[in-house]
Structure formats: C-alpha cells, structure tokens
Amino acid sequence: MSKPARVERDLLVFSIWAVLGSGGLCFLLEGFSRDSYLLSLIGIAAIVASFVAHFIVNGIFGVGFGPGEAALGIGVFGVILMVFIGGWAIGALSESDYWSGLTLFAVLALGLPVYLSTRYGLRGAFSHFHVRHADFEDSDQ
Amino acid sequence: MTGLHHAIWLPLSVFFYAMVMLYWVRVSIAGNRGADGFFSASHGLPPWLGALVTAGVSLTGWFVLGGTQLVARDGFTLPVLVSAGVLLALPGVIFFKRLWFAAERLHVSSLADVFRLYYGSPFLVVVTTAIAVLFALGFSGLQVRMLSGLVEAMTGGAVSELAATTIFGFILFAGVGIGGMRSIGYFGVIQTVLVLSAIVFVAGFAVVSAGGFEPVNARLLALSLQPETARLFSVGKVIEFTAGLGRGGDYATSHTALANLSLAFALMGFQASPLVFKILFSTRRPSGVAAGQIWVTAGFLGALIAGGIMLTGAVGLVDDGFSIVTLFQGLHDRSPWFAAWMFIGVAAGVQLLAGLSLFAAAEGLVRHVYRPYFHSALSKAATVTITRIAIAILAVLAMILQTIAPVTLSALAALALPLAFQLWTPLLGVSWLGWITRQAAATGVGFGIAGVLLTEPLGYQVLSFFGLELPWGRWPWTIHSALWGMAANLAAVLIISAITNRTVVRQEAAEIRALFSGLLAISPKARDWRSFAWSIVIAWFFLAAGPGLIFGNTAFVSGEGETTAWLLGMPSLWAWGIAGWVSGLGMIWFLAYRMEMANPSQAVIPAYTPPLKLRRNNTEIEQERLRILFMAGAIVFVLAVLAAFIFSR
C-alpha cells in the first residue's frame, strides 16, 4: 500500500475510534456507574460498530490490522480483563456490572474467530493457528 | 463517586487528544518535503479530506458556543440561522472549483497569491492578510476564550481561564507551527468528526435534561402565547428605520427580515475568507467540491444546525438556568467521562478554526507581505522558520487579548465575517465576472471595509476616541454591517468598472480568462438554465433569508389565542427555516451540477510559466520601503495621539 493510502486509511481508523470507540467507552462507563445493563449494551454495540467499521476500512484498503494495532488491541483487552477479574475478586461488581463485563468479553472473544473467518475463510482462519511441522521444515530448506 | 473520578477525566482526555495530535504532527513532518510541504501539503491532500475539513472548520465551534446562546436569548427571531448550512456552503459552490483551477494554473496556494497575480494589487494582498489576522486574533480568540471559561466552570475554578488559555495556546502552536498545513489537514479530519459528534451529543443531553422534546415544545408554545415573550417567535418587520444599536435602536426589535438577510450575507463571508481557501488549494483535485459542499456542509452540517443547535438553543429558551456552561457543569458532576469527551469535541472544532486561522495569518504576514515587499532574498527554509515564529507571536497575542482585553476582542471578532464577505467582489472578478477591473476590485473592497467599519462598534468607537461622533450606531436600519459594506463595495465596483479600461489585463489574468472560456467553459445546456437559476436563487433568498420570513411567522400555525396550535409540532419559524434548509439543499445541488458551477472536472491544467525576467537586487529598495513603513507608522501614531488629545472628549 502506498504511503498516502496508508495515511488515509489511518485517518479513517483514528476517526472511527475517536467517535464510536470513545463514545462506546463512555456509555460502558455510564452503564457501570449507574448499574444499567442497557447503557452498557449501547456501549458494547458502539465498540462492536467500531470494529466492524475498522474491518470495512481495512477491506477497502486491502490490508489487515497492523502489528501495533494488534498489540494495542490485545493489550487493552488484557488490561480490561484484569480489571474485571480484580473487581470480581474483591466483590466490587454489581450484578449489572458482572453481566456487562461478561457480555463485553463474550462479544470480543466471539468477534475474533468471526473476523478471521470473514477475512481468511473458515479453513484459512484455522490454518492461522494450526501451524504444521512440515511448514517449518519447508521454510528451513 | 470520588473526587478523583471527576478530576481525572478532563486532563486525561486533553492529554490523549494532545498525544494523538502530536502523532499526526509527526506523520505530517515526515510527509513534508521543503517549504511547499509546510505551506500547502504539496497540494496533496485527498479531495474527501478537503471536503470534510471544510465542513468542520465552517463555524462549527461558533455554532455550539455562540449559536446556541443566540437562540436561547433571542428565540426564533433569527430563523436564517436554521438554514445556515446552505448559506455556509453557497460561496464554496460558486467559487471553489474555478478558484482551484486558477490557483493550479498560476501554481499558487493561497488567496492572497491569486489576487496578487490576477489583479497585481498589493492592497488586496494586505486586506486578505488582515482578514486572516482578524480571524486569528478576534474571531478564533473569542471562541478560545469561551472554551477557557468552560474549562474553569467545569473544574470549579481549579483550572483558571488563564491557565486553560495558555494550555490551548501551546497545543495550537504544537499542532500548527510544527506540522504546517499537512498537519491541519490530517488532524482536521479527526477534529471534524469529533466536533460533529459533539454537536449531536450536546443536543441529545440538552433534550434529555429538559425531559424530552414534547415538554420543551409545550413550554415553547406557552411562551409564544405570553404577550411579553411572544416576540421571540416572530420576525417583527421587514425593516426598522432606527439609527442603530447604541443610538436609540432597540435590541428587542432589531431582528427584522433585513437583519436576517444581512446576517445571511455575513455567514456567507466565511467561505470567502483566506482560511478556507488554504484547505481548498492544498487538495490535489477539486473533485470533492460539489459533494462536500452539498452533502457534507449544507446537508450533514446543515442538519446538525437546523436540528441539534436549534434544539439546544430552544432548551435554553424555555429554561433560564440552562446554557452550554451549565450543561457541561451538570454533566461533569454526573458523568465526567461524557463531559470530557464532549468537551474535547467542542474544543476540537474551536482548535481547528483557531489553528487554521493562525496558520493563514502567519503565512500571509510573512509570505505575502514581508517577503515580497521587504525581504525578497529570504530563502524558503527561512520563510518557514519565520512563519513558525509568527504563529507563536500571534498565539501569544491572542492569549493576551483574550485575557486582558475582552471588549477589544469582541469588537475585532465582530469584524471578521463582514470583512471577509467584502472579498466576494474580487473573487467574482477572478471566477465569473471578468469585467471587474483591478481598480474596481481594489476600490470596491476599500469602500466595503469603510462601510463595515462605520457600522460596527470598533469603527465608531475609534472615531469617537478622536472626537468624531457618528449619528448612527451599530447596524443602522437593522441592517448588518456585512450588507452596508457590500452596498458600498458593489456601487464602487460597478461605477469604476464602467469608467476604467476593461481590456487592459495582466498576463496572468488573461491566462485565467482563457482557461475559463476554453477548457472550463460552461456548456450551452447550462447557459440555457441561467435565467431559471437566477430566479430560484432570488426566490430562495427572498423566502428563506429575506422579507419572506414574515410569512413564516404564521405559515404553520392554526387557531388563535388559547386554541393556537403548531401544525408541525414546532415553532412556525423553526419549521419555515427547516423548509428553507431543505429547499436550499436543492438549490445548491442545482447550481453545482446543473449549472456546472462545482461539478467534478477531469481537465488537466498545466502550470503557467511566466516569461523569464532578470532578477534584480532589490535590497536597497526594500530597506528603504521598510524605513518608510516605520516612519509612516510613527507619524500616524503621533498624529493619532495629537488628534485624540485635541478633539476627544
């Protein structure tokens, strides 16, 4: 991908997350703060919409997630998971918080194979995880 | 919720915003190649980006901070604001396509350069630069001041207005001074989507806090039935022959139909300003002009204004205690993350305008005034460095004005739009009316400036300082200064064009005329539509922005007294304004595509190569010029002090 195209794609990705991602996070926090599962769901829907929009932009420009993006995504996912587990461990979660968190993780966890299968096909997605020894041997030769 | 929860979100959001901005500054620096990259992004910004950022910069911050207040205070007496999206987009439809090709042909990247080459008029170059400076110091400065006040209110005084202003100043310089035009374009995309979403959320929160649209509407109806507030729901007269505000004119009755029409002209000044042309000339193709102006600016932004901004203002109208500041304060107490996010959105809109205006002003001062007239030997790299210094000085000057001279700031801000509107005549001369001569364009703008200054507080206060009391005040006959200026401007242009030789034009002007009558000529089919186009434009202005607004007072009302009902479930003038916005959308679509004023063109324009000339060493002349400038400045200052000492009361 040419440099100007890369810049345009990055601008679109930043814009998507600035609006949908940040807005979703605000709704999610509002849901946790007010113990409102509905508000949390709106937040989760906005975050999912951000991912979908991100996929569409990637599709238009014919690229996948960059290494930095993948690292950031996995890192944020890990941090949120740790905070959730910590909150659960000290008993700081209400029932609504608990269900909101579970819904978020379920959606994100489900989203990964769905994304991979839409991008690489079912078999191709599986191959991304299942690396055969023969592949290594071929590459060694 | 702990205090930390409240305290952390706003600084965290500002920090995150600044980090994202610095990232794009870094990307911009990597993309800039030499001075051209800094000043015009090497004419490489994508068309969609130009269209989006043009919409974002088109007064979005002003509408949130100032427009909502105006509706909350004056009700629906200025229905022209509802169709502001169309008014903001109209100049772009008329000028952008042809001006882009003119700039491409002459290989320049700013409006001042186009005027310099087309008209050969230093006066127009200086005026264009002065207007950019006015936008940077006054118009944007006023918005940054309001924003800083908002920060102080949200943090309960923990962050003072001065501290907030200083932080904004630093962020502005970091974004614009380092990255240049490319940085404004790139980060402008993110700023635009942020401010547009902030408008939606501000309106949503305003309505939710008022209990929904139905209760707001019911209270609006009740207000319209009370004798003392009924005037807020109608345009009183076509014109009121008063001497103007401050000279016996009553503010309550000043919003006549002609006040609306002349305000519409002032709004149309924005896209004639040198700021917006910086974005236009930095794009690689003009193919996004029509779609951007119609669907993004007039359509999407217009819908946000007609719906979101008016709704927020309406909530302020029915609830005295409501304003943007109280909305943010309340939100900050309940949901600090939402308050921080929406604040960043509003701040992004203001920063986009402030950054662009600072950049255009500094470029004008250094590249269009200082370099060509006082230091032509200045290298490109040195020009960039001095422009950066000028941006920093202007940012500091704006901060000082915001802090210690708010009245002067307001007076300067009020001049920006009406003065920018005076550039319509030279712009028309370049793009459509080739018979406007150099002398006519320059004199017309001069008369226009005089007309504006004499009907705005700054002008008559300066004259009053020297002991000359004008018999009129602000906006005599309830006509905005933009229209007074344009009346003088047009009269001068018509008379002087008629009496000067129209066949003598500069070579560059002849090139542009040949281009417009050749490659970019309007098709015969479009020419056949000309009288129809004039008819619908005049009819639209009459009904949606002019005397026809009187019909809107009762167009969607049934019954009288206690049985009064609004047929469309909203104040009649609001509905009339929305009808004006929708029909205006159709009008500018017609002008852009059917009349071929802004339709995409694939014509390839080679850059004009001026005949080679021997370069002379102008150092001595330029030094002499600089000396004369300082001497003249000193003499004018002494004379001004003497005149004030002798005549002022």
Partners of residue B341 in chain A, C-beta under 8 Å: 22-23, 26
Contact B279, B47 (CB under 8 A): no
pLDDT score for A46? 95
Contacts of B337 in chain A (CB under 8 A): 25-26, 29-30
Mutate to test the interface with A, among B13, B27, B48, B337 (most CBs of A within 10 A): B337
Q: How far is CA A35 from CA A107, B153, B405, in A?
A: 19, 28, 48
Look at B337 and A30 and tell me if their CB atoms are within 8 Å.
yes
Which residues constitute the domain of residue B624? 617-648
Closest approach of A89 to chain B, Cα-based (Å): 20
Would you state the pLDDT for residue B487?
Answer: 97
DSSP SS3 for B566: strand
A49 touching B (Cβ < 8 Å): no
User: Using CA atoms, how far apart are residues B395 and B166, in angstroms rounded to an integer?
Assistant: 9
Give residue-wise pLDDT tens across range B47-91.
Answer: 999 999 999 998 778 888 888 989 999 999 999 999 999 999 999
Nearby residues of B88 by Cβ (< 8 Å), 6 or more positions away:
B58, B59, B267, B268, B270, B271, B297, B298, B301, B302
B531 and B632 both lie in a single domain? no
d(C-alpha B20, C-alpha B318), whole Å: 39
Q: Does B146 reside within a domain?
A: yes
Nearest CB to A11 within list B186, B335, B341: B186
CA distance A69 to A59: 15
Clarify whether residues B528 and B630 are in a common domain: no
> Is the confidence at residue A116, as pLDDT, over 80?
no
- Is residue B572 located within the same domain as residue B644? no
Cα–Cα distances in angstroms (integers) from residue B628 to residues B377, B444, B568, in the given order: 19, 26, 65
CATH assignment of the domain containing B558: 1.20.1730.10
Residue B607 lies in a domain: no
B120: left (phi over 0), alpha (psi -120 to 50) or beta: left
Task: Return d(Cα B532, Cα B537) in angstroms, integer.
Answer: 9
pLDDT at B59: 73
Q: Taking a C-beta distance cutoff of 8 angstroms, is the pair B549, B79 a contact?
A: yes
What is the DSSP secondary-structure string of B581-626?
A: HHHHHHHHHIIIIIS-SS-------PPP-PPP-PPP--HHHHHHHH
Q: For all residues of chain B together, what is the average pLDDT?
A: 90
Residue B610 lies in a domain: no
The answer to whether A26 contacts B335, with C-beta atoms less than 8 Å apart, is yes
For chain B, positions 320-359, list CB contacts with chain A under 8 A: 335, 337-338, 341
Distance CA A46, CA B22 (A): 26
Reported for B582-587, long-range contacts at CB under 8 A and 24+ positions apart, including other chains, are B583/B540, B583/B543, B583/B544, B584/B83, B584/B85, B584/B86, B584/B87, B584/B298, B584/B302, B584/B540, B584/B544, B585/B85, B585/B86, B585/B294, B585/B298, B585/B299, B585/B302, B587/B86, B587/B536, B587/B537, B587/B540
The domain total for chain B is 2
- Number of inter-chain CB pairs under 8 A, A vs B: 43
Q: Using one digit for the tens of pLDDT, what is the confidence trace for B351-403?
A: 999 999 999 999 999 999 999 999 988 898 999 999 999 999 999 998 888 88
> So what's the pLDDT on residue B592?
95
Q: Is A60 an interface residue toward B (CB < 8 Å)?
A: no
Q: Is A131 helix (H, G, I), strand (E, B) or coil?
A: coil
**Secondary structure class of B210 (helix, strand, coil):** coil
Interchain contact B17–A (C-beta under 8 A) = no
Yes or no, beta carbons of B194 and A19 under 8 Å apart: yes
The neighbour count for residue A50, using CB atoms within 10 Å, is 21
Indicate whether B570 and B624 sit together in one domain: no
B9 touches chain A (CB under 8 A): no
**B20 lies within 8 A of chain A by CB:** yes
Within 10 angstroms of residue B509's Cβ, the number of other Cβ atoms is 21
Q: Determine the residue among A2, A3, A10, A11 to mutate to test chain B binding: the one whose Cβ has the most chain B Cβ atoms within 10 Å.
A: A11
Nearest CA distance, B329 vs chain A (angstrom)? 17
Q: How far is residue B94's CA from residue B341's CA, in Å, rounded to a whole number?
A: 36
Report helix, strand or coil for B269: coil
Please indicate, yes or no, if residue B611 is contained in any of the structural domains.
no
Residue A72 sits at the chain B interface (C-beta within 8 Å): no
Q: What is the pLDDT of residues A7-64, one digit of tens each?
A: 999 999 999 999 999 999 999 999 988 999 999 999 999 999 999 999 999 989 988 8
Task: Mark whether B527 and B642 lie in a shared domain.
Answer: no
Same domain, B622 and B484: no
Do B373 and B264 fall into the same domain?
yes
3-state secondary structure A44-65: HHHHHHHHHHHHHHHHHHCCCC
Residues of chain A found within 8 Å of residue B194, distances taken between Cβ atoms: 18-19
Q: How far apart are CA A61 and CA B583, in angstroms?
A: 37
Q: Are B160 and B152 in contact (CB under 8 A)?
A: yes
Do B632 and B565 share a domain, yes or no? Answer: no
Distance CA B147, CA B145 (A): 5
**From the CA of B204, how many Å to the nearest CA of chain A?**
13
* Residue B2, pLDDT score: 54
Answer whether B190 touches A (CB < 8 Å): yes
Contact B1 A14 (CB under 8 A): no
Cβ–Cβ below 8 Å for A4 and B44: yes
- A137: closest CA of chain B, how far (Å): 41
Neighbour-count burial of B611, counting CB atoms closer than 10 A to its CB (0-12 exposed, 13-18 middle, 19+ buried): exposed
Same-domain check for residues B494 and B630: no
Contacts (Cβ under 8 Å, ≥6 apart) of B316: B68, B69, B71, B72, B73, B206, B322, B323
The residue of B25, B338, B343, B351 whose CB has the most chain A CBs within 10 angstroms, and thus the best one to mutate to test that interface, is B338
Residues B432 and B461 in one domain: yes
DSSP state of B366: I
Residue B557, SS3? Answer: strand
Q: Which residues of B touch A30 (CB under 8 A)?
A: 335, 337-338
Residue in A4, A10, A23 nearest the CB of B197: A23
Strand-pairing partners, residue B558, are B565
> Which residues in chain B come in under a pLDDT of 50?
none
Non-local CB neighbours of B162 within 8 Å, separated by 6+ positions = B148, B403
> Hey, are the CB atoms on A18 and B193 less than 8 Å from each other?
yes
Token digits for B37? 């990259």
Task: For residues B594 and B622, state if they share a domain.
Answer: no
Contact A66/B at CB under 8 A: no
Measured from the Cβ of residue B29, the count of other Cβ atoms closer than 10 Å reads 15
CA distance, residue B31 to nearest chain A CA (Å): 9
- pLDDT attached to residue A134: 59
User: CB distance B193–A19 less than 8 Å?
Assistant: yes
Contacts of B1 in chain A (CB under 8 A): 33
pLDDT of residue B461: 85
Does the CB of A5 have a partner CB in chain B at under 8 Å? no
Q: Does A3 touch chain B (CB under 8 A)?
A: yes
**Is A29 near chain B, with CB under 8 Å?**
yes
Residue A16: predicted pLDDT: 95
| B27 in contact with chain A, both atoms CB, cutoff 8 A | yes
Task: Indicate if B449 and B402 belong to the same structural domain.
Answer: yes
In a domain, B69, yes or no: yes
**The pLDDT value given to residue B560:** 80
Q: Which residues pair with B245 in a beta bridge?
A: B249, B474
